[in-house]
Structure formats: structure tokens, C-alpha cells
Chain A
Amino acid sequence: MKRKSLITAAALLAAAGAIAACSPDQGKSTANAGGNDASSCTNTIPKKQLPVVTMWGWYPNTQLVVDNFNKQSNEVQVCWTNVGQGGDEYDKFQTAISAGTGAPDVIMIEADRIPTFQIQKALVDIKNYGFDAVKANYSDGAWKDVSIGGAVYGVPVDGGPMAMIYRKDIFDKYKITPPKTWAEYEQAAQKVKDAGGPLFGDLGANVPAVMMALQIQKGATPYAYDPAQPESIGIALNDQASKDVLDYWGNLARKGLVGTQDQFTPEYISGVINGKYATYISAAWAPGYLTGAGVGKGEDTGKFAVAPLPQWDSANPMQVNWGGSAFSVTSQAKNPELAAKVAYGLYADDESLTDGWTNQIIFPLNLKALNDPKFVDLKVSFFDGQQANKEVYVPAANAYTGMTYSPFGQYYFDSMTKQIGAVIDGSITGAQAADRIQEDVANYAKEQGFTVQ
């Protein structure tokens, strides 16, 4: 009896050991893997003799982009890991910063997060590592979003010029034309509702970046931040424009004109597929996402179209941006100069860019692609052949002038999400939400040692 149990236990141990031994990253070789260790790449490195730069990113076609880069480069190879998307990746990066180890050499981040990491000295200024050679490849606005003061903390890849995606079948059925202003948007919503139609749009608590962009569109300037004086920051999250926009959406929700579903959830996708929402206020990368989620296929084919974002003042239109990412070099990079080569070169070759925009995964900021007639004139199949880039997205991108982001983006968005949630459940008005966000974020800033103006 005893022998048998012992044998069982020994066998289990042996099995555990065997599995451990089988996995390629056993024991000590995995120390700091995913970050600085090249042994844990998702991709295969073709030129093994070259030095390796590690990279985190989540573009759906990253594999192809990395392969293209590695094929062309004779100086350096990229080792890529996908540690999660957006917030998940930032949490990992943040943790690695705190731990002082575990971060990759190059990281994909959204432009609005750059100040958050820069203030922790987690990013490297790459201006002296070949900026002049590629400067002309991007617009000044694109550079502005990744720069702080005179320093450059990222290489722009894609942007998210915003627009209004709508369902042609619903618009036809209720005889409405795409609204040009937010007042018209509300009227159209009311008209559809009165006729017993579906919801007109959606106010999602989990997309605070949209709310921020829409507030900026009305003239809000959430942050005033000069990196020359990093300890001082201006926070204006409850000015009239911010309040108005929150109130506007709060009212639409209260009147039942728009839904209050979190976006990107299965519930929301299902709603988009089944025509539960007449419009979707979103960015240029949205069609690729929706296609992947199963929208616009089967019965839905060709039902979608896109129109410019409604305006507050049609005489002075204002274009805004949602999402879009850059490649940054982290301060844990072993060889920043080499890492900068990767940041500048990755997703900058024609083949990768073309793959990105044909599949609508990215709205390219690289002028080579942006000015490419093939890109501009593309007849987008998701929009039933509409020349969406030429008509809507490219003009919107060209009119975009950049924004100033805060060094505590995570806290700001968390706070915003919470208060939008409160607006949705009707416990506070939009204006009250703006006041609370202001108070919350300002307190946090003071607590973190900033002087708030």
C-alpha cells in the first residue's frame, strides 16, 4: 500500500518535472522573459547572428509586420510578444517600470499614454537617433501627438480620425440623411424613435477616450501641460464645453434615444449586427474591427456607410481623434539606438502599410501611405464601395491639429468611466459628472505632487 502511494507521488513529480523540462523556456532561462530576453518571441527570428530588440505590440497583423522588418533589416532583428491589448499591456508595462525590469526595448502605445510613461522616465527621447531621416514621413500634427516639448517619445503608426458610421437601411427606412450637426443628430434620433425605430447611437462607459474627443471637439482643453515645468499642470475637465457634451449624451440616454451598452462587448457587437443602433460614432480603424467581429457579413453586407462626424458649429468644423498608436523606446532598452532603429522602421515599409490599410486595421499616418492614391481612392467593401478615405477619413485626419494629454491618463480614464456610469444609471447629470471628474482628477494630481492650476 505504502509503496504504491509513494510510487504514485514519485510518478506525479516526475511528470511535473518532465513537463517543465519539455517547455522550451525552462527555469532560469525565462528570467525576465517577455521583456528583455529574446528567448520568448512569438515570431521566429530569421537572422540569428544579428542583435535582437524585444517588442510588445497588439496590431492584428504584427506577425507580418515583424517578419517584413526582419527580412529587410541587416542590422537588427525584432522579437515580438503580445502581452495583451491596451490597458492590459499598460498594466504590464507599468509593473515592469515599478520593478525596474521586465519591460521590452520597444513598445506599442497609444499616443495619449505617452506623457503617463514619460513622466516616470520610462521612455527614451529618440530625437537624436535618426529622427531627421524620417521627419518628412509624417505630418506635424502626428509628430505633435508623440512629442513632449522638444523631445520625441514615439514614432507614429496609425491614427483614429473620427467619423460617424451609420446603417443605410435604417436611414432609408426612416427617411433621414446623415446629420451634419449634433442638434440634427438629436432630431434624427428623436424622429427614428417616434417612428418606433431602433436606438440611434450608444453612450458607452468603457470608452472614455470617445467622450474626451467629443469634449475637445466642442472646444474643451482638458490639460495644459508644459514639460519644462513638469510639476505644474492645468486641469480643466468641468469647463462649459465638457459639461455640455456630457449633458448632451446624458440627455440622449435619458430620453432613450441612444443605448448605454459598454462598447466592444459581445452584447454591443450583437446589437450592431442586428441593427439595434443606427449610428456608431467611431474612428477610422472601426470597420476593420467590426468586420473581424462578424459585422457586415451575410445579410448585413453593404448596409453600412460613413459620414463626417457631426459638428457643434458647422461654420467652424473641428476634427478629433480616437486611438491610434506609436512605437516608443523604453528606458529599459539595452541599446536605445538600436531600439530606435526598430521603432522608426517597424510598420514603415510599403508592404506592411498596404496590408494594414487594405484590411482596415490601421489608418496610416505615414505620408507614403496617406498620400498614396490607391489608399485615398480605395473603395471600401465594408461601406459597400464607398470611397470612405477620400470622402471622410483623410479630410478629417488632415484637419486634426493634435491634443495635449495628461501624465495620469489611466486615472483620468478610470474616473471618467465611473462617472459616465453614474450618468447612465441616472443618479447624476452630465454637468455633475464633469464636476466630479474634475475634483477627483485634481485631487489625484495634488496627491501626486503636482501644482494644479
Chain B
Amino acid sequence: MTTTLPAPAPRDDGPAARPGVTKGIRPTWTGRLRVRAVKALPPDKLLPDTQPAYVASWIYVFGALTLAAFAVVVLSGAVIALKGPAWWHVSSIGLFFNSMHLWSTELFFFFMVVHLWGKFFMAAWRGRRRATWVTGVLAFAASIATAFTGYLSQQNFDSEWISTQAKDGINATGAGAFWNVLNFGQMLMWHIVLLPAVVGLFIGVHVLLVRRRGVVPPFADDRAGGPAAAAASVAGPGVGQGAPAAGLFEEHTPSSRETAQ
């Protein structure tokens, strides 16, 4: 009878042994930037192949669903940009892409709100994740502005009605002097250039921060104070349902920073 031993875990000699984190590096800004980037986000953190056991719950899926919807929003918007905002009025293909743009936006906000509720009730800013939470809030706010300028770019009576109603609200804030919702060209540029860039930037930083700090553990994991208790309480098919960790999911060992919270 032969016994198959599991392969040894890859050895990690600490940050100094990782590529790019070496002493005696030449004092160039690119070298320093590389050292800082690799130190903050080593490859195994940037593209992990396992997740903590508590991530095995549907509530943790909605961040990725939001990203998927955002990709469809950007791609369908890019196709519409090739032909112009009036394309969908005169072409069935244009109408198809306009509808795809609308419904992917609806799903984007739908998934993002469920993601927001889940993270709010988990208090996802715990364990030095304040910046992750804040960048998510900023991405949400910028998304609302992007969607609003999208409504103004429809080139129909709906956009005309929304812009004439919104101008009074915007003027009341004092922003109407430089942000004129009746200026179609300005609103279109905000919608297809500036605001998508801002949303994409906040989403990118948000995702990198999730990679750096990790996904927030459930409250039970924080209170347990150790991996054994944490695995027993949170490794189940849903949050709080006990079952062994399996597949891509592994037991979570709270960091000293998390347990100190």
C-alpha cells in the first residue's frame, strides 16, 4: 500500500525574497515604485488561488457580479460611442446596444446595492479596511453621476424633461455655473469620458485594496480569535452554517491587526 503525501506548501522567505523586493536596488523612481508595489501587493496576494472559508456564501458573490455588469456597461457604451448617441433612434442594432447598455446599468446598480447592504451589515470597514469602504462609496457616488449624465444623453423627450427639471436643482447648489445640464455636448463628454474614468479608477483602487487587505471576515471570526474556532463557526455553505472548508476555500487565520480590532 502506497501513501501519497500532499505536496509541500510553497516556501515564503518573506518580502525580501520576493521578486522586486531586493536590497541594494538602484535609486530610480521606477525601482522604488516597483519595490513599493510588490511589497504592498505581492503576486500571491494580487492573484490568489484560494479564499478564506467564510467566502463560500452567495453574499460574497455580488462584488464580482457588479464588476461583470460594469464590463458589459463599458463595452456596450463603447459600441454606442462609435456610432453616436442618436444611433439607437434609427437602427435596430443601435437599439439593441442601447438596451444592453441600459439593462447592464440596471444590473450594475442592482448588484452594487446588494453588495453594499452585505458589506454594511458585515461592517466591512473593520481590520484596516476603511479605505476599501470609502473607495466603494466614492465609486457608488460617481456611478450615480455617470448614470444621470447617461439619462441626459438619450436625445429624446425623456432626456429633455430630466435636464430641464435637474437644472433648477443643480443651479440651487451653485454648480450650474460650470456644470450645465442643458449643455448636451458637455454632458455627453462627462458621460463617456470623465465620469467613466473616475468610476473605473475608484473601482480599480477598490479591488486592489480588497486584494491587499483581504475580504472582511464575519463577526464570529473576529470574536473567535483563532483559526480553529473560526473554521468551526464560519466555514459552512452559508455564513454561520457549520461545514468543513473545501475547494478553493481555506480556513481563515485572523491577522494580528484583525484580532486587535
Chains A and B bind each other: no
Residues in A lying within 8 Å of B, measured CB to CB:
none
Residues in B lying within 8 Å of A, measured CB to CB:
none
